[in-house]
Structure 1
């Protein structure tokens, strides 16, 4: 069963405390706030043969089978490989599961994550099951970017927003999760994770703060013409494209904001503040808008798992970034 996070207490009561359950739920919200844990906890409660109030008992046959990953009335749909799309053939397997009779005589429960990993064909294949699931079936859909889902998918689900915990809740939890880290380091991780505490822990494990420092150092050398775009792009092989485009999109937005407001308080994090201000003051606004549009378009492709040539994409980014200061 999924971990119980302190910021989910009210959300859990709203979700599991319903007198009658819908046939499909869409749990949506930012990455790294515990939506999967919430869904797994809900799934356990729905499958349990002897629930204890809102919670699964943990001792019945259904609970034991679920814990062992062998419950015959449970189906989990995920990409076959990390960061790959969910294929239409996988959805067809789900559809076949839904029309079968529950083997333990209770509910069947399906969990899909991330729902936006389904392409249009896969999403359309799921629609019939979402609209009229056979028997007592509950589908739990998890989405980190619900705006990317087909409207026909969203409209067939009870939508449950999963908001970010407060900064205080997140930092208190991170104190327990990362006791060896300093208070300042935990606050920096939470900022890098856009307020998502579980994402902050994952970034800590992946060494993201050091990667960001490497990227910023590289950007500074690029602007000083101490390194070329090709060499710099190759040196970032170990860094996620998603992270890189998140950071560059953020910096472009901060540059534009400063050009419009000249507010030095709105220059973002200290580690890139001076560079952002320098670029904003030296770059024509037209060029900032152009690179912002380009970055957003490429970021969308990265998020959509498009088949991209990583090195060429980063070289194109860095060539444009190096040419920002000055007329043009």
Structure 2
């Protein structure tokens, strides 16, 4: 990518028109808002020999090297596996890279994502590079959760928040990317993605809509006593656990809002009737206890804790059903 998302054009122009750049940037914002795309485009711009209108030309030798994935003055640091930590050895590679002279005689760029994946040793190793920046070397950090970074790292970066587009703009963009999808499908994908268009695209690629339909039907069958939690947990085992956790968290929030009278209908349109019925039955104390349990297990799965998926799903379904039976 050599251009940012359309909804970040204003921020892009303000950044690329500057005469001098900070040695380190922290691009932050909601997952799926376009941070990686923005940072990747900015790296391309910084390395390009002849950017035009603030965009890498894709024609010069430097751009050809970048496009081939062999630019010697561009270093990408990511976890070896998604969800794993960035370890100190990787950051030591960064330190060695920074200490060397640019092989193309221009700038050097390090793209580190997600920055919050650095473990403590890696983060401490990075601090020295931030404290003693090399000339014409730029560190670009990307983070969904900047609060998880060491304060000393955040304070040494120029923080650039990147916002979500307006709902109308997000819907138009997603419809253009997914012409085979209906407006209703795009709306549901954006809802599941919290309004983040690139996350919605990823959900579409995961076939999340058909998976969600099966999950909603399973929930209805569970509450009607047509299927046991253990059986449903087995059926759900192949589904991405992060999607299931996201959906249960969203439904729980809907329940809290409905019960407190903050909204009249649930944001989750495909679960509106179910949640409306449950909101009249559940007790607030039990609902809050369930939410705490759910969020804690979401955190555990995010940290790659070694949990038994089927047992977790069965327990979650039992607790969800019991919300209606404890009154």
- TM-score category (smaller protein): over 0.9
8 A contact 1:284–1:326 mirrored in 2: no
Q: How does 1:95-134 map to 2 (within 5 A)?
A: 95-134=95-134
Aligned equivalents of 1:230 and 1:150: distance in 2?
42
Which residue does 1:228 correspond to in 2?
228
How far did residue 273 of structure 1 move? 1.2
Aligned equivalents of 2:86 and 2:14: distance in 1?
30
SS at 1:80's partner residue?
A: coil
Aligned equivalents of 1:73 and 1:105: distance in 2?
9
> Cα RMSD over matched residues?
1.8
8 A contact 1:99–1:133 mirrored in 2: no
Structure 1 residue ranges without an equivalent (≥5): none
How far did residue 77 of structure 1 move? 0.5
Q: How does 1:247-266 map to 2 (within 5 A)?
A: 247-261=247-261, 263-265=263-265
SS at 2:237's partner residue?
A: coil
Aligned equivalents of 2:199 and 2:229: distance in 1?
30
Aligned equivalents of 2:197 and 2:286: distance in 1?
35
SS at 2:111's partner residue?
A: strand
Over residues 92-112 of structure 1, what are the superposed CA-to-partner deviations in whole Å (9 max), with x where a residue is unaligned?
A: 212221222211121110001
Which residue does 2:284 correspond to in 1?
285
8 A contact 1:100–1:134 mirrored in 2: no
Query: Is 1:81 the equivalent of 2:81?
Result: yes
Aligned equivalents of 2:87 and 2:210: distance in 1?
35
SS at 2:2's partner residue?
A: coil
Q: Across the two proteins, how many residue pairs are aligned to each other? A: 327
How far did residue 288 of structure 1 move? 0.4
Aligned equivalents of 1:325 and 1:118: distance in 2?
42
8 A contact 1:218–1:232 mirrored in 2: yes
How far did residue 53 of structure 1 move? 4.5
Structure 2 residue ranges without an equivalent (≥5): none
Aligned equivalents of 1:249 and 1:44: distance in 2?
38
Which residue does 1:137 correspond to in 2?
137
8 A contact 2:254–2:268 mirrored in 1: no
SS at 1:313's partner residue?
A: helix
8 A contact 1:255–1:277 mirrored in 2: yes
Which residue does 1:31 correspond to in 2?
31
Which residue does 2:325 correspond to in 1?
326
How far did residue 3 of structure 1 move? 4.2
Which residue does 1:272 correspond to in 2?
271
Q: TM-score when scaled to structure 1?
A: 0.93
Which residue does 2:175 correspond to in 1?
175
Q: TM-score when scaled to structure 2?
A: 0.94
Cα 1:229–1:2 change in 2 (3 A) is farther
8 A contact 1:223–1:322 mirrored in 2: yes
